[in-house]
């Protein structure tokens, strides 16, 4: 597996609380992504980053924010968690010059919002 980890791996939280998920890479890849995986919806892009401090929205960005202050870390924050944000969250990395356009995925974080 590429050097990409996610923390925490599992989290249960209550509606209205803030939650931060962390993605950490040791590959020095330029691009990082956050997806959510839901039955019937597949993988949907939440936010992505194309460099330090450079981020953009994906197709399901409402209710989420991200930050990337250094190359290796990409944080996903749910400002006020809702039950609709119960999902499995995947981080991915890629770098056009070293891996072509292949994405490498983390192990996922299972988030349950009660």
Partner 1 sequence: AQRVTQPEKLLSVFKGAPVELKCNYSYSGSPELFWYVQYSRQRLQLLLRHISRESIKGFTADLNKGETSFHLKKPFAQEEDSAMYYCALLSGGYQKVTFGTGTKLQVIP
Q: Which residues bind partner 1 (CB under 8 A)?
A: 1, 31, 33, 35, 40-45, 48, 50, 56, 58-59, 90, 92, 94, 96, 100-108
Which CB sits closer to partner 1, 81 or 92? 92
Distance, in Å, from the CA atom of 49 to the CA atom of 35, rounded to the nearest integer, reads: 12
Strand partners, 12: 112
Which CB sits closer to partner 1, 41 or 70? 41
**Contact between residue 66 and residue 34 where contact means Cβ atoms under 8 Å apart:** yes
Which CB sits closer to partner 1, 36 or 81? 36
Q: Alpha helix (H) ranges present in 1-114?
A: 96-99
| Nearest of 8, 89, 3, 92 to residue 49 by alpha carbon | 92
């Amino acid at each position: 597996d590429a050097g990409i980890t996610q923390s925490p791996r599992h989290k249960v939280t209550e509606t209205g609380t803030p939650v931060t998920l962390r993605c950490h890479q040791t590959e020095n890849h330029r691009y990082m992504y956050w997806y959510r995986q839901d039955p019937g919806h597949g993988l949907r892009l939440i936010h992505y980053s194309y460099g330090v401090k450079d981020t953009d929205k994906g197709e399901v960005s409402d209710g989420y924010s991200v930050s990337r202050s250094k190359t290796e870390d990409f944080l996903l924050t749910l400002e006020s968690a809702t039950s609709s944000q119960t999902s499995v969250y995947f981080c991915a990395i890629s770098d056009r010059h070293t891996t072509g356009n292949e994405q490498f995925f983390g192990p996922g974080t299972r988030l349950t919002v009660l």
